[in-house]
Amino acid sequence: MSIDVYLNFNGNCHEAVEFYAQVFETEKPKIMTFGESPPNPEFPLPEEAKNLVMHTRLNISGSNVMFSDVFPGMPFIKGNNISLAIVSENLDEIKSQFDKLKEGGTVGMELQETFWSKCYGQLTDKFGIIWQFNCGINEM
């Protein structure tokens, strides 16, 4: 299990991650845009979202740092654009931690299977910290 930092940007994620890759001399990042995600007819993708970064990551000094742009219409507050990501292959551990952290908090997305994870969920705990949970993530 690891806890990784997740940084959100307001439309300039591609520029930021390329900059950080250069600064920290990492490999060129693999970038997935919202437009490259599988289409969902129930939620058509707005045109302005297609070129925004859905996910990318860098290994900086042995730590995974993940990045994305916020989806159009979602709130973005500079300085509060960081979340912690729990990454584990232990589904029971993820469910237990998610259930404990959601007490007094707000669930953004219940634990569920996604195209990138066999179990993903997101919540804000009672202290205002945003947590993401991933079990069995596909390497990007």
CATH of the domain at 89: 3.30.720.110
Query: What is the model's pLDDT at position 16?
Result: 92
Give 43's pLDDT tier (boundaries 50, 70, 90).
confident
Compute, in degrees rounded to 10, the torsion defined by CA atoms 130, 133, 139, 140: -30
Give 95's pLDDT tier (boundaries 50, 70, 90).
very high
Which pTM value belongs to this model?
0.71
Q: Residues 58, 102: one domain?
A: no
- The residue type at 57: R
Residue 96 has pLDDT above 80, yes or no: yes
The reply to whether 127 falls in a domain is yes
Query: What is the model's pLDDT at position 32?
Result: 96
**Exposure on the CB side of residue 111, measured as CA atoms within 13 A:** 19
Taking Cα atoms as reference points, which of 60, 89, 72 lies closest to residue 8?
Answer: 72
Domain total for the chain?
A: 2
Rounded average pLDDT over 25-40? 93
The reply to whether 75 falls in a domain is no
Look at residues 44, 69, 94 and tell me which one is the last residue of a structural domain.
69
Q: What residues form DSSP beta bridges with 109?
A: 122
Q: Residues 52, 97: one domain?
A: no
Residues 6+ apart with CB under 8 A from 94: 86, 88, 111, 119, 121, 133, 134, 135
Instruction: Give the domain extent around 115.
Output: 84-135
DSSP codes, 123-139: EE-TTS-EEEEEESPPP
Who has greater pLDDT, 121 or 2? Answer: 121
Find out whether 3 and 84 touch, Cβ atoms under 8 Å: yes
Residue 140 has pLDDT above 50, yes or no: no
The reply to whether 106 falls in a domain is yes
Who has greater pLDDT, 63 or 13? Answer: 13
The reply to whether 95 falls in a domain is yes
Residue 138 has pLDDT above 70, yes or no: no
Q: Residues 11, 58: one domain?
A: yes
Residues 6+ apart with CB under 8 A from 75: none
